[in-house]
């Protein structure tokens, strides 16, 4: 590995607002692609004659298996080469497969397209988080990461409300083609316009040649890293399952069309989540002045209350009550993941940030993105399918978020000690 990658240089960086805008665009497309299939689940299920279990595989493992596994080598590549090229290239790759989803004419091809989307999105999260940490100082990272987290809700609204609206006029295949073309353009713009920031210099005589296994061994000795990983994994197991099955729940519970269910679910949760995420970043940066533990404690409390709210939504008898509960669910659930990423960026040395985050995201993805939607669909079929089967399934899956909230609160007291330990070993 050349020394040029690890020493400071007078490289002129891109303007921070431009970087944030382009990375936000990449992130929005990442989540819009992910939620588009959930928003169009019912017409796809009817066309191909799928069960809830098979649909759960498409929403979960077909996408998430390689997404989680390949996230680690993608992040390692980003740590050693260009974070910009890895993230932008991933965006263009997943956009190609999103567009190819429009050509699927049987479940196998649909599954292959979802696998391709997962491969591309493996290059998104860890390299982008590392770029944010490189471009923004610690006292501004909460706000920057909260803006990035808004992509979840903008993408959710785009996929669950915008996608079905287009599909109502032009068929379910058209939104996949449109989103794929937009993603290619945004990924190319990010690659051309964001300059790769220089990395901090390594200590004299030290080279970056540590294996992933050795790095993982050091990380698991840091209890806060383990608890942050477990907390986000369990929170994602709960929240992702509810988010991806939510439109189907609304369609079955309230007799809505696919388009109406997507809008009824995606818009109130998306707007409330967007507001909560923006507020969380500013509150987190202010709380962070009083100690590194406070933003994470806020995140833990928010996750705990939001988990109780979405559990209640699963069983409320009317759409009005469900949308009313969406307000506290989104406001409190919108920012908790920001606290996790602030914690990761705080304890991890800069030259291991992408890889250290990706190793955590591997476990988080296996628990949340892969297992969550699949387990929810499998349990739904086990309980007889339909509305009651889905409600019983979600009632078993959602409470995992409460355990995740406890893990995050426990991690908050260990951050400073683990930061010093990891810095000394790096």
Kindly tell me if the per-residue pLDDT of 9 is higher than 50. Answer: no
Locus of tokens 């990380």:
219
Q: Residue 163: helix, strand or coil by DSSP? A: helix
CA separation for the pair 22, 19 (Å, rounded): 5
Give yes or no for a contact between 372 and 50, defined as CB atoms under 8 angstroms apart: no
Q: Which is the CATH superfamily of the domain at 13-196+212-425?
A: MFS general substrate transporter like domains (1.20.1250.20)
Q: What tens digit of pLDDT does each residue of 314-361 get?
A: 999 999 999 999 999 988 887 788 788 888 878 888 777 777 887 888
- Per-residue pLDDT tens digits for 361-408: 888 888 887 788 889 989 999 999 899 999 999 999 999 999 999 999
Domain ranges of the chain: 13-196+212-425
Inter-residue long-range contacts of 4-7, CB under 8 Å, 24+ positions, other chains counted? 5/80, 5/81, 5/199, 6/199, 6/200, 6/201, 6/202, 6/208, 6/351, 7/198, 7/199, 7/201
Selection from 394, 280, 400 nearest residue 330 by Cα:
280
User: Taking the model in full, what pTM does it have?
Assistant: 0.69
């Amino acid at each position: 590995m050349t020394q040029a990658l690890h020493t400071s240089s007078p490289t002129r960086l891109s303007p921070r607002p431009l970087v944030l805008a382009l990375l936000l665009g990449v992130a929005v497309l990442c989540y819009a692609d992910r939620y588009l299939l959930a928003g169009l689940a019912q017409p796809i299920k009817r066309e191909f004659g799928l069960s809830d279990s098979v649909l759960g595989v498409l929403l979960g493992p077909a996408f998430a298996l390689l997404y989680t596994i390949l996230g680690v080598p993608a992040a390692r590549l980003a740590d050693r080469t260009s974070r910009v090229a890895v993230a932008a290239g991933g965006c263009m790759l997943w956009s190609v497969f999103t567009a190819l989803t429009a050509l699927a004419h049987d479940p196998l091809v649909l599954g292959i397209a979802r696998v391709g989307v997962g491969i591309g999105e493996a290059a998104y999260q860890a390299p982008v988080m590392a770029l944010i940490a490189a471009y923004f100082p610690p006292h501004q990272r909460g706000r920057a990461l909260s803006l990035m987290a808004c992509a979840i809700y903008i993408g959710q609204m785009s996929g669950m409300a915008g996608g079905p609206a287009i599909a109502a006029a032009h068929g379910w295949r058209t939104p996949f083609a449109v989103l794929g073309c937009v993603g290619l353009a945004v990924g190319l713009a990010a690659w051309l316009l964001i300059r790769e920031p220089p990395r901090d210099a390594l200590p004299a005589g030290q080279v970056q040649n540590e294996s992933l296994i050795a790095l993982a061994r050091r990380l698991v000795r840091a209890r806060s890293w383990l608890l942050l990983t477990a907390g986000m994994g369990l929170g994602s197991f709960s929240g992702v399952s509810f988010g991806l099955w939510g439109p189907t729940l609304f369609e079955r519970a309230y007799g809505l069309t696919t388009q109406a269910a997507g809008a009824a679910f995606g818009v109130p949760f998306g707007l409330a989540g967007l507001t909560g995420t923006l507020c969380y970043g500013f509150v987190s940066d202010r709380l962070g002045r009083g100690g590194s533990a406070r933003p994470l404690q806020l995140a833990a409390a928010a996750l705990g209350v939001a988990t109780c709210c979405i559990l209640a939504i699963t069983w409320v008898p009317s759409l009005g009550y469900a949308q009313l509960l969406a307000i506290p669910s989104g406001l409190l659930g919108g920012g908790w993941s920001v606290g996790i990423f602030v914690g990761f960026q705080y304890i991890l040395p800069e030259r291991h940030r992408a890889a250290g985050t990706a190793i955590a995201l591997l476990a988080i993805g296996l628990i949340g993105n892969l297992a969550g939607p699949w387990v929810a669909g499998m349990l739904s079929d086990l309980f007889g399918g339909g509305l009651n089967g889905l409600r019983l399934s979600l009632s078993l899956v959602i409470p995992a978020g409460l355990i995740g909230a406890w893990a995050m609160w426990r991690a908050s007291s260990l951050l400073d000690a683990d930061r010093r330990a990891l810095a000394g070993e790096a």
